[in-house]
Amino acid sequence: MKIFKKITLVMLCLGLFSTVEPNVLSPLDSNSVVEASVLNNATYVKVSTKVYTSRSSKSKSVMVIPQGKSVERLAVHKSWAQIRYNGKSGWVASRNLVEITKTEVLDTKKATKMYSSRSTKAKVVTNIPADASVTRLAVNKSWTQVRYNGKIGWVASSQLKIRYTKETFAPRTYRMKEDTTLKARYVSSSEELVSIPKGTIITSSERYNTWYKVSFEGKTGWVIGKHITSYKETNKDIALKVFGNEFEISGDGHDIYVEKDEFYAYFSKNRLNIRGENIDEFRLAALYIDKLNGCDLDIMTDYMWNARPGGKYATGIMHYNYEISFSPRGGVVVAW
């Protein structure tokens, strides 16, 4: 009889645990979409950024991350952040990072209950009135985890409707599908700032519903998403941005040729041949390399300029993964 009572008690406990689900999402649940926290691991660099071995700009610099590249943030210590990029880790100034976030705000369709877990049998955390705004934290099947008035719990997804989605992401390139007006705010009735012609290549890293934040001719505003399409920026596009219309730019793919008067540069997949008599033009070539792979702009400019035949670095020198030396046919060679 005692054994029978023990078995019955165990069965009752198992039944209780299976009825009420724990308020925990499995990290393997593919249906879960989690809002950015205070320390979001996903970030991107807003400017070309040096990576150091320790939390000091006096420590060794191990690499430079090009502007706009996504990195994984591993830790934060005061004004420094430890990151991982292309399999390498190090420390960068936190001010150079931008969090990749997604915030979804929803309204309740009618008065509804917030539960402690994904079950109507769970404890009621609070009652949410109709037309109240909540922030979505996660989605699991037919339930949505939300924050309301500082409280967190679960609401049936059918009781919610989207109010707005706000998102920041690593810069993406788009092409204008038609002539478009840049608006001061993300509403059609907003002030018109400037007209953007069809075919213009733009970059955005922020979205509000179907509106994208972009800059054009010194103005920053919003364009509606139906007027843009994704575009993969080519090396020639980058060269045009860096060197401008004053230079003759030709080629495609990895093979880009840039010429102007006595200046000549040939960029291939992992090599640059350059010659010229103007250090500012060498700096533009260094900037092009930085846009593609990352480098210290000042050091790269100095090394290339002084690696010309007869220069102080004519025997060759290394800068990160770049080998810089003079060309026997004149000019400078940079290989990576």
Using 50, 70 and 90 to split pLDDT, how confident is the model at 11? Answer: very low
- The yes-or-no verdict on residue 122 having pLDDT over 90 is yes
pLDDT at 68: 95
* Residue found under tokens 């320790």: 54
Using 50, 70 and 90 to split pLDDT, how confident is the model at 3? Answer: very low
The average confidence (pLDDT) of the chain is 89
Strand-pair category, 271-275 with 332-335: antiparallel
Q: Which helix (H) or strand (E) holds 292?
A: helix 279-293
| pTM confidence score | 0.77
- The yes-or-no verdict on residue 242 having pLDDT over 50 is yes
pLDDT at 327: 86
SS (H, E, C) 197-253: CCCCEEEEEEEECCEEEEEECCEEEEEEHHHEEECCCCHHHHHHHHHCCCCEEEEEC
pLDDT in tens, 156-210: 999 999 999 999 999 999 999 999 999 999 999 999 999 999 999 999 999 999 9
pLDDT at 282: 97
Torsion of CA 89, 94, 98, 104, to 10 degrees: 100
> Alpha-carbon distance 216 to 204, whole Å?
11
> Alpha-carbon distance 153 to 112, whole Å?
12
User: Measuring CA to CA, which residue among 336, 284, 330 is closest to residue 307?
Assistant: 330
pLDDT at 266: 98
Whole-Å CA distances, 183 to 87, 88, 93, 190, 221:
40, 41, 33, 6, 5
pLDDT at 255: 97
pLDDT at 40: 65
- The yes-or-no verdict on residue 8 having pLDDT over 50 is no
- The yes-or-no verdict on residue 12 having pLDDT over 60 is no
Say which amino acid occupies 194: V
Worst-scoring range by mean pLDDT, 4-8, 141-145, 185-189, 205-209?
Answer: 4-8
Cβ contact 51:74 at 8 Å: no
Task: Name the DSSP letter for residue 140.
Answer: E
pLDDT in tens, 275-319: 999 999 999 999 999 999 999 999 999 999 999 887 888 678 999
Q: Tally Cβ neighbours within 10 Å of residue 132.
A: 15
Using 50, 70 and 90 to split pLDDT, how confident is the model at 330? Answer: confident
Whole-Å CA distances, 256 to 120, 293, 303:
63, 15, 22
pLDDT in tens, 23-67: 323 222 323 333 333 446 899 999 999 999 999 999 999 999 999
- Tally the C-alpha atoms within 13 A of residue 106's C-alpha that lie toward its C-beta: 23
- The yes-or-no verdict on residue 14 having pLDDT over 60 is no
Q: Which helix (H) or strand (E) holds 37?
A: none
Worst-scoring range by mean pLDDT, 84-98, 161-175, 182-196, 320-334?
Answer: 320-334
Euclidean distance between the first and the last CA atom of the chain, given in angstroms as a whole number: 80
pLDDT at 23: 31
Cα 34 to chain centroid distance, Å, stands at: 17
Say which amino acid occupies 265: A
